[in-house]
Structure formats: C-alpha cells, structure tokens
A and B are shown apart, each in its own frame.
Chain A
C-alpha cells in the first residue's frame, strides 16, 4: 500500500503554499512514496524511553545590552523588495472583494 496518496500530496502542497502542476503531483506522489517507505525504517528503533535531540548544542537566548546600534536603513531594508510604496513593503490585497 502506498505511504502517501496523490490527494495527500495535493493537500500538503496547498498547506505549503505551492501551486504545483498536475504533472508535478504525479511525479512527487511516486517519489515521496519511495522516500517515505525508505525512511520508515526509523520506526524499527524501539525508543520510547529515549529523549529526543533537536540540536547538538544547548539552546540559549542571546541577549545584548539595550543600546542603540546601527541597523539597516529603511532604503536598505526595502532594497530587495519586489514592490514598495511610501517607504513600506507593498503587498497584494489580502481580502477578496466580497469580504
């Protein structure tokens, strides 16, 4: 039985904000199925009492003194934006017309 269906891949693509094509769906469904069946081996390790490791070094917050230091200018921050207006990022409309 397939580990992942074409419909599941389409759903995951929507969640991931990826407008994949019909052909990509066919390709990815087959390839992801092979990958998932291969990686399912990690289920062989009986590890209920094993703590998970998310990072190889302990994670700590990094603090600095509350002192003003130079940062990016507004112009620099906007320099790579696909669109800007009045010194701000310009984004496409968020609400549908009927909303």
Chain B
C-alpha cells in the first residue's frame, strides 16, 4: 500500500499544494489501491479511472499556472451511487437504472468538481438507500474491511468501506435514517449528517424527500469538516435548502482537537439506556462519556420521552414518501423497460418493468408506503406518524434549552455477519434505532469512533440543534483527540 493512501485529506491537500507530490500521483495511488483490494471489499460499483486522472491533471495544470487552489484540490473522493454524476453510471444500486448515465451533475457533485476534488468512482449501497447493511444492493454486498464476513453498515456501506479500506480519503454519503452515521460506526470511520436543508438534494435520487440529507464520510473529524464546508450551503434549485450561512465547522473541529471542552454541556438521553444494545457497545459508550467529562464537559441526563416512537414513525413516513418518489421508475423516460413486445399494455409494461427492476426491500417498502397512505389507514398510520414527528421535535427543542449537544451510541450493535438479519426486516430496522430521531427532527448528528467491542468498531453519536453543526464537530474532535483514529487490520 502506498503511503499516499494512508494520509488524511488535509495532509494530501497540503502535500499537493506544496508541489511535493502531484494530484495525478495521488489519484494513481488510490486507483492502484482500489485495483488491489476492491475485489474483496466491493466498495465501488463503478471506478472512473479516466475521469479521475483527467481531473487530477487539471489540478496539476492549475497549480503549475499559479492559480489558487481550494482546500481539497487534488484530493480523491468516492461518491455514493445515489447522486447524479454527468456521463458517469448512476444506478442507486438498482437493476432498474443499470447503465444509466445522467445528463447532469447533482449540485453537490458540481461543488466537488469546482473545489478540485478528484472523483474516483461511485460507491455501493443498499438499493435506493433502503437498508442498514448494504446487503440489498442489486450488485452484491460490500464487505466490512474489519472483517470481510460482516456487513459494512447501510445504506452507505460502500462509502464507509472505501474510507476504511484506504481506497479513498473522503466519500459522500446520504443519510435518511442513519445511512452515513451507522456505516461510519461499524467501519470505524467518521460520518456526519448535516442539518436537513444544509446540503442540497438537487440531483439526489430521492428516497424520502423530507429526510434525505447528503453528508461527508472521512477517517478524521477534521477531514469530515473540510468536506462538509465544501458541499454545504444554500442551493436555489432545492426548495428545502436553507438560505443561511453554514457555520464554520472546520474552525470548530480545530477547536475541539485542542481537547478542551470546558463550558460544554452534554446530555445523555435517558431513554437510550442500553435496552436492545450489546453490552460491549454500551461499555465503549460509557468510556467515551468518561473521556468527555475528563476534557471538561458537564454531563447530565435528559429525558426525551417520545424517542421510543421514532422508529415506528420513521418506518411509516419513509416508505410512504418512497412509494411516491419511486413512481417515476416506470420504464418510460430512463432505465429498464421489460415486456414491451407488442402484447402488453403500457400499464402491464410498467408493472413488469418494476417487478424485474426492483429488489425485495424496495418492493416491500413501496407496498408498505402505499398501505400507510391508503384512505382507510391514513389517519391511523401516516397522519399519526407526522404527529409523532412533532412530539420528537419538541423533545429535541426542550433538550437543547438545557444542553449544547446530546450523545448516544450510534448503533445498538457492532457489525453483524451477513445474512443474520435479512430474514426479519424489523430486526434489521433496529440497526437505526439511535440515529432515526435526528432525521425526523432535521438537526445535524455525527458518528465518531469511540472504541472497540470484540475487536470491532463502536461509534459515538453526537446530536446538535438545527444549523448548529459546528457544535457536534467540536465535541467529536475532542473525543477523537483522546480515542485516536482506529486502524483496521491489513487487507
């Protein structure tokens, strides 16, 4: 493995800016690493070798011409396959979009290109971001670099695994119910869900529009903050984008790295008392609370009584929005078409196309969403879930009147073996138990490695008020300064 692949994004950017190494050399080192290990990890669905080297050459040319480079210029990045990338295959890990090359870039991808980052390719995921293990990808699962027989989390398992396997220093994920933080926790990497509306959803293949939030994945908190600052900010093409300045998350990460949390008040959610969580996860969680206390933080318990209803509310709201969003996959304008043999009507072609193109988890959620939105059940399910969302928001508002951030374990369990939860969907859904409340509220949250249990990574989740993303970066960087960066076994 080249030493270049071990460097952080910040170190790579500085090395490229100084001229000690070229962006092309950095890109090639990561492409070589992908060639060496990705057959075993399967983090990538598509590697864009030519595009990456062309982008790297562009950065080198600009540097040679004396042009000013951005803070991440020349740094390689992997992008979850749910974001549209112009001319580069984009499938959302579904057969229904196999071979589709979007004619435009998502806003986030535009910003990554403008910043001079070098896109290596598209990462594996659960189909249409529906899943907690990357076992529902139509193109086969991603393997966790810590133990290739275990899941890398989901739905952004490919992005997290690419980071953990040193195939890329940075990656983009999307978080609807925990799909950045949960894979981050089980791969020993950092994953941040920005404030909903803080990062643009334009060009993101929609799963649940009121929840989907793109965000950064990295090996360090500082790197995640650097990427966050590049992709965040108002986008007039997204009606839910917040027209406010993004807080200085990079400065907050640097402040946290000094290891001083004096004056910071941290709340422990009383209802997250360990029920349903593995003892090893709770032990690492308690150790990290002790570490934060030693750094000067004041820790108190805060009751959020409606968090217990977050999981059921989410599993009514998200499939309902998905059943509507996925109606566009009808075999007419893009993607797969099946049954168009002159013997079937348009309606039959649509049904046959969707049957052939969607995997089981997607079908299950479309049917569940259609049920929850149907006239006889709307008030009992979807309407009630939206009221629960109000109650959870009130819990957060009340909590943040008393503390600066809330913390919890990110996941109830460490990475589990493949196949151990696919038979019972609700058991799988429990993987997102701690992450979902913040999606319903809309605030930011980050997962940072806080230790090991049975040799596998455990993550600490830090939740902050809406548009106070900087607070979570400060606390996360402080914890990282004592726990350190986790290193997986050699592949």
A interface residues (Cβ-Cβ under 8 A, vs B)? 4, 8-9, 12-21, 24, 27-28, 31-32, 34-36, 38-45, 47, 50-57, 59-62, 64, 72, 76-77, 79-83, 89, 91-96
Contact call B355/A20, Cβ cutoff below 8 A: yes
On chain B, the residues within 8 Å of A21 by CB distance are 355
Contact call A62/B363, Cβ cutoff below 8 A: no
Which 5 pairs of residues, A with B, have the shortest CB-CB distance? Answer: A56-B442, A52-B386, A80-B334, A82-B337, A39-B312
**Also in contact, A32 and B368, with CB within 8 A (given A56-B441, A82-B337):** yes
Contact check: which of B237, B360, B386 meets A24 at CB < 8 Å? Answer: B360
Closest approach, in angstroms, between the C-beta of B328 and any C-beta of chain A? 12
Main secondary structure of the interface of B (DSSP, over half): helix
Chain A to chain B contacts (Cβ below 8 Å), 12 pairs:
A12-B371, A18-B351, A19-B351, A24-B360, A35-B425, A35-B426, A54-B210, A54-B389, A56-B441, A56-B442, A79-B101, A80-B102
The residue of chain B having its C-beta at the shortest distance from the C-beta of A52 within the complex is B386
Q: B51 within 8 Å of A by Cβ?
A: no
Q: B481 within 8 Å of A by Cβ?
A: no
Contact call B384/A47, Cβ cutoff below 8 A: yes
List residues 115-150 of chain B with CB under 8 A from any CB of chain A.
Answer: none
Contact call A34/B196, Cβ cutoff below 8 A: no
- The distance in angstroms between the C-alpha atoms of A15 and B390, with both chains bound, is 30
On chain A, the residues within 8 Å of B309 by CB distance are 41-42, 44-45
On chain B, the residues within 8 Å of A42 by CB distance are 309, 312-313, 316, 381, 384-385, 388
Main secondary structure of the interface of A (DSSP, over half): loop
On chain B, the residues within 8 Å of A18 by CB distance are 351, 354-355, 358, 363, 366-367
Contact check: which of B312, B344, B374, B442 meets A92 at CB < 8 Å? Answer: B344
On chain A, the residues within 8 Å of B383 by CB distance are 52
On chain A, the residues within 8 Å of B426 by CB distance are 34-35, 38
On chain A, the residues within 8 Å of B363 by CB distance are 13, 18, 20, 24, 28
- The distance in angstroms between the C-alpha atoms of A85 and B210, with both chains bound, is 36
Contact call A47/B391, Cβ cutoff below 8 A: yes
Contact call A60/B196, Cβ cutoff below 8 A: no
- The distance in angstroms between the C-alpha atoms of A62 and B197, with both chains bound, is 14
- The distance in angstroms between the C-alpha atoms of A62 and B389, with both chains bound, is 25
The residue of chain A having its C-beta at the shortest distance from the C-beta of B102 within the complex is A80
- The distance in angstroms between the C-alpha atoms of A34 and B332, with both chains bound, is 34
On chain A, the residues within 8 Å of B346 by CB distance are 91-94
- The distance in angstroms between the C-alpha atoms of A82 and B210, with both chains bound, is 30
Known: A32-B371, A47-B391. 19 other contacts (CB 8 A): A16-B354, A17-B350, A18-B363, A19-B348, A28-B367, A35-B368, A36-B368, A39-B381, A42-B388, A45-B384, A54-B210, A56-B197, A57-B196, A57-B240, A59-B239, A79-B103, A80-B100, A80-B101, A80-B335
Closest approach, in angstroms, between the C-beta of B141 and any C-beta of chain A? 20
Closest approach, in angstroms, between the C-beta of A25 and any C-beta of chain B? 10
On chain A, the residues within 8 Å of B391 by CB distance are 45, 47, 50
On chain B, the residues within 8 Å of A62 by CB distance are 236-239
Contact call A96/B345, Cβ cutoff below 8 A: yes
Closest approach, in angstroms, between the C-beta of B218 and any C-beta of chain A? 25
**Also in contact, A60 and B239, with CB within 8 A (given A19-B352, A43-B384):** yes
The residue of chain B having its C-beta at the shortest distance from the C-beta of A55 within the complex is B210
On chain B, the residues within 8 Å of A94 by CB distance are 345-346
Contact call A51/B387, Cβ cutoff below 8 A: yes
On chain A, the residues within 8 Å of B332 by CB distance are 81-82, 89, 91
- The distance in angstroms between the C-alpha atoms of A35 and B452, with both chains bound, is 32
On chain A, the residues within 8 Å of B387 by CB distance are 45, 47, 50-53
On chain A, the residues within 8 Å of B380 by CB distance are 43
